[in-house]
Chain A
Amino acid sequence: DAKTTQPPSMDCAEGRAANLPCNHSTISGNEYVYWYRQIHSQGPQYIIHGLKNNETNEMASLIITEDRKSSTLILPHATLRDTAVYYCIVRVVTDKLIFGTGTRLQVFP
């Protein structure tokens, strides 16, 4: 079973920041938090991952709380093309990704 909990859906206005929350209260000390997204029926697209520290790349920022029980993915300036299902995943020690149901983000004009 997935070790994360996400809201089923969110809306965001184009050009605004999209903040997607994720709870992972049972995360172990050596497990990473990963974010992927799936646009329509394409393959999951890697966004970002982190262990303890906040991370930023060209796509997004990942904010992990100090106790590591939750995190937030931030898309700083959402566009219509960011409309997708976003998956927060705790990558387990066996290396596989366990997908949950994700958050369906709808970006509107």
Chain B
Amino acid sequence: EAGVTQFPSHSVIEKGQTVTLRCDPISGHDNLYWYRRVMGKEIKFLLHFVKESKQDESGMPNNRFLAERTGGTYSTLKVQPAELEDSGVYFCASSSFQGMAAEAFFGQGTRLTVV
């Protein structure tokens, strides 16, 4: 069974440009999460989808970040325009059902560098 897949693995963009990160969850997983780690900080929650609906987006830093999950399958996270402080590693995770008893499986992450 394929795990959570993220594209690209690395991205280097200039300040002010747009970048779109993609996450393919484990097949059949309705729950999809985005997290990120910026330099020197802890891994932080960004948002949670249940199928195509945003269940919790309390961790989204500002309106430059837009997450979508059309059709309830893969998800994209767009940063527009990118700023230097957006540099970090963005992780996606998925789980088969909602609730505190459901383990979430993480992808390998996308390393974003804004220069």
Which residues of A does B touch, CB under 8 Å? 2, 30-32, 34, 36, 41-46, 49, 51, 91-101
Contact = CB atoms under 8 A, between A and B. Distances in A.
A20 B59 CA distance: 29
B103 A30 contact: no
21 contacts: A2-B42, A32-B101, A34-B103, A36-B106, A41-B111, A42-B108, A42-B109, A43-B4, A43-B91, A43-B109, A44-B43, A44-B106, A45-B106, A49-B101, A91-B100, A94-B58, A95-B31, A95-B98, A96-B48, A96-B59, A99-B42
B114 interface: no
Contact of B45 (A51, A96, A100): A96
B74 interface: no
Contacts of A94: 56, 58
Interface string B1-43: 0001000000000000000000000000001010100000011
B42 A32 contact: no
A43 B104 contact: no
Nearest to A36: B106
A49 B44 contact: no
Nearest to B98: A95
B56 A96 contact: yes
Contacts of B108: 42-43
A96 B111 CA distance: 22
Contact of A51 (B33, B55, B56, B101): B101
Given A42-B109, A43-B107, A44-B106, A99 B101 contact: no
A46 B103 contact: yes
Contact of A97 (B98, B99, B104, B111): B104
